[in-house]
Structure 1
Amino acid sequence: MAFKFNYIAESAYNLHGGYDHDRTIRYADQFSAGVTLDLDKLIGIADATFQITFTDRNGDDLTADRLTDPANGTISSVQEVHGRGNVLRLTQFWYKQSMFDGRFSYKLGRIPVGDDFATYESQFQNLYLGSGEPGNQNGDIWYNWPVSQWAAVGRWNIKPHYYAQLGLFNLNLNNTDPDKHLDIIHGNGTTGTLIPFELGWTPRLGHENLPGAYRLGGYYSSADTQDYSSDSDDQQKSGRYGFYYVIDQQLTSHESDANRGLSVFSMAGWNDKDTSFIERYVSTGVTYAGPFDARPNDEVGWGLAYAMVNDDYNRYNQRQATRSGVNPGPRPSQGEEYNAEIYYSAQLTPWFALRPNLQYVVNPGGGSDTDNAWVLGAAMLANF
């Protein structure tokens, strides 16, 4: 039995630019507490574990409050830990069983999609430089932490360093309802099934066995959704899909210490143009672990992300605004947004890290008339 407690707090201050130039600071945080049960030791079920995790989020989002036009809404966020309501949630509640000497495993229970698919170990504070990017662009069907769904995930370790995995995730409108944040079973509200799939290669390169991860995947949703390409505001499309890749590779070590060195990463996603908000996305960057001999556990990183809003989505929103009569007239269009970040992560103790960062957002919310924004951020992380 292993207990785990984590706390992360992210602050952001708008130094310059954005839609609202009134300088202010916003703070968001998350507590998480979980337990991993080794069922072999507890009740004699070999190669089986059970995981239970609760999370509690609080605070506000500077991106929505200051950086973007309220008529548009947000694309990325300068505080990735914000979102899905300031509530306590049941985030993980699953059983995992390994079989055939570890060649196959399955998980059953309540699982966030981003726990297993499109994963990347990110230290960035900007949302679009983090893990589970398809969920950041398709948050109505693909739920990342802290939201979970009833699901089954199967993973086949085809041979050393190669795997394939497939998931079945129940789509239920109540999953994101803050009033149902502790419900295990939601009952009515199912709209379909999300089916993510992924092929992966996790090599160890060179004589120093430098780790890497290459993931190629996609998803299909069977739920009906709005068809933005149609001239009818009521036209629904059955089925929705997208594809992604994740690349993360360490390139160097420091004096044969593989825990230190330079790594590069890239992520990208393409979403169904008929039904997507974000049509395409790509990010890239570098990190360096252990930049100084006196600070071998620190890390520095730089990343750049790009996202483009679907033109059909913009036209649909324009029609909605005109026909509603509540706010007649043209609505600002959302186009391209760029997010850049540089951070330094100082591991001050084995359990506590401080991570200041500087972010630059071009066209916040995809608004070409919105001033580019400089944001000073800081994250605090405690792990027990």
Structure 2
Amino acid sequence: MTSRTFGRWRAGYASLAIIGSFLVAGTANAYSAFAPDSPYMFGDWGGERTALKEAGVSFDFDYVGEAATILDGGYRDSHVTKYADQFAVGANVDLERLLSLPGADIQITVTNRNGHSANDRLGDPDATVGGSNVQEVQGRGPVTRLTQFWYRQRFFDDALVVKLGRIPFGDDFATIDSNFQNLAFGGAQPGNWGNNIYNWPISQWAAVVKTRFTPEWYAQIGAFNINDSNLKNDNGFELRTSGTDGTMFPVELGYTPMLDGMAGAYKLGFYTHDVDNRAYGAHPETRTSDTNTGLYYVIQQQVTTRGGNPDRGLTLFSMGNANHGDTAGIDRYVSVGATYAGPFDSRPQDDAGIGLAYLHVNDDVDDYVDYYNAIPGNALPPLPRQGHEYDAELYYSFNLTGYLTLRPNLQYVVNPSAVDTVDNAWVAGTTVQASF
């Protein structure tokens, strides 16, 4: 995106903000502008926001910005600070309220990402496979995209749900509630380490069918069109299907119990697709394989309450992912951690978290690196061997109002980009979230 285009986008966003301020200035409403208990900075738009929602149209205007400063270590050992952010503008249309179409709704979301990542100075630029990212919001480049554009139909009191349209993989599969800034602790981890899986903000044509056997058990299956042209910045609003590479089929079984009033989520998933990918190993010519499969799990369970309040207490989590060894760059991933909601009586809306993640680079990658570096007369710099990376993060969320959160964090990265000759790094981060 050019600076002029970005300027126009920001100007348009600012205009929406100004319009919102005028709307809230006129009349009394449930939430006035900048009220601390309001979920939106600009309040209820003089009652218009609630009226629109009751009519079937809900709006979201959200912002997230993430700063990261390398305090020590990394490939370049420089104390650099980088900032990345995302604007998201969304609308949900309840067709049951608007058009008397039972159980139907439409979601449209446009995102705009900008900025740079401290990982440019953290990891080895010659590494064959990348590691995690200390600013998860930075991925997929500075561009405006159509991130969600789907139709959903519910049947039999939500026992069967069908969803069609432009859908990011992480909307429905391997989801988890997360406030961490490091990518290794966010949702939809198969999209971070698997081949041809597009996470937010990338969308693709897809269909998802979900059935709920009981209030606690469900199963779902998806079919996602794979088209690498979706990754290009110029195609942020491109809806074509020409150039299709193949199809991915994820399947997930889930259990969502309430144990003594405490919510849990247990998910086990599998995916496969038929797109040719590079097959690593020691061989004189680049080989490909269309065998791309993976397994994943997600566990998240609240285990305590605070004073009997289920909105406060300790929650434990773990995620894991194993990818096919022939084509996977990262073939094993696992994370564990804990979060605590409402740690102090004086600040019951705050939360804190700690997490540890492990990434393992496929051994076949080093076989390729050894072969490449041994080529006689190779004038290019040697590639680094890769093994594993550890990521740790500790954060505290100051939920200052219902619409504004400030979340400082401290991260420690062992073997950035899974190269053990790169110095371990300390990174100080800060996340800002706002809902307008």
- Please state which band the TM-score falls in when normalised by the shorter chain: over 0.9
Q: Give the percent of matched residue pairs that are identical in Structure 1 and Structure 2.
A: 49
Greater CA drift, 350-359 or 316-325: 316-325
Q: Quick one: distance in 2 between partners of 1:298 and 1:326?
A: 55
Q: Do structure 1's residue 8 and structure 2's residue 64 form an aligned pair?
A: yes
Contiguous gaps of at least 5 residues in structure 1: none
Q: Quick one: distance in 2 between partners of 1:49 and 1:324?
A: 61
Q: Quick one: distance in 1 between partners of 2:329 and 2:262?
A: 37
Q: What is the TM-score with the length of structure 1 in the denominator?
A: 0.96
The aligned counterpart of 1:122 is 178
Name which of 82, 85, 103 aligns with 1:47: 103
* AA partner of residue 348 (structure 1): L
Kept in 2: contact 1:321–1:327 (CA 8 A): no
Name which of 367, 370, 388 aligns with 1:336: 388
Shift of 1:383: 1.6
Shift of 1:189: 1.7
The aligned counterpart of 2:242 is 188
Q: Quick one: distance in 2 between partners of 1:223 and 1:172?
A: 10
Q: Do structure 1's residue 145 and structure 2's residue 197 form an aligned pair?
A: no
Q: Quick one: distance in 1 between partners of 2:208 and 2:376?
A: 42
The aligned counterpart of 1:175 is 230
Kept in 1: contact 2:291–2:324 (CA 8 A): no
Structure (1/2) with the larger strand percentage: 1
Name which of 258, 281, 292 aligns with 2:344: 292
**CA-to-partner distance for each residue in 1:209-251, whole Å, 9 max, x for gaps?**
1000000001001112222247253322122100010000000
Q: Secondary structure at the match of 1:81?
A: helix
Greater CA drift, 109-118 or 217-226: 217-226
Q: Which has the larger radius of gyration?
A: 2
Aligned residues between the structures = 379
Distance 1:306 1:4, change over 3 A: same
The aligned counterpart of 1:383 is 435
Q: Do structure 1's residue 62 and structure 2's residue 118 form an aligned pair?
A: yes
The aligned counterpart of 2:322 is 270
Q: Secondary structure at the match of 1:30?
A: strand
Q: Do structure 1's residue 346 and structure 2's residue 402 form an aligned pair?
A: no
Q: Do structure 1's residue 203 and structure 2's residue 260 form an aligned pair?
A: no
- Runs (4+) of structure 1 moved beyond 3 Å? 317-330
* AA partner of residue 257 (structure 2): P
The aligned counterpart of 2:155 is 99
Contiguous gaps of at least 5 residues in structure 2: 1-56
Shift of 1:18: 0.7
Shift of 1:173: 1.6
The aligned counterpart of 1:240 is 292
The aligned counterpart of 1:316 is 368
Q: Secondary structure at the match of 1:349?
A: coil
**CA-to-partner distance for each residue in 1:6-56, whole Å, 9 max, x for gaps?**
100000001111111121100000000000000112222110000000000
* AA partner of residue 101 (structure 2): I
Distance 1:231 1:90, change over 3 A: same
**CA-to-partner distance for each residue in 1:160-216, whole Å, 9 max, x for gaps?**
11000000000012110111111122x42211101111000000002xx10000000
Q: Quick one: distance in 2 between partners of 1:322 and 1:33?
A: 51
The aligned counterpart of 1:371 is 423
Q: Quick one: distance in 1 between partners of 2:93 and 2:407?
A: 32
**CA-to-partner distance for each residue in 1:335-379, whole Å, 9 max, x for gaps?**
100000000001001000000000000000001011000000000
Q: Quick one: distance in 1 between partners of 2:111 and 2:68?
A: 21
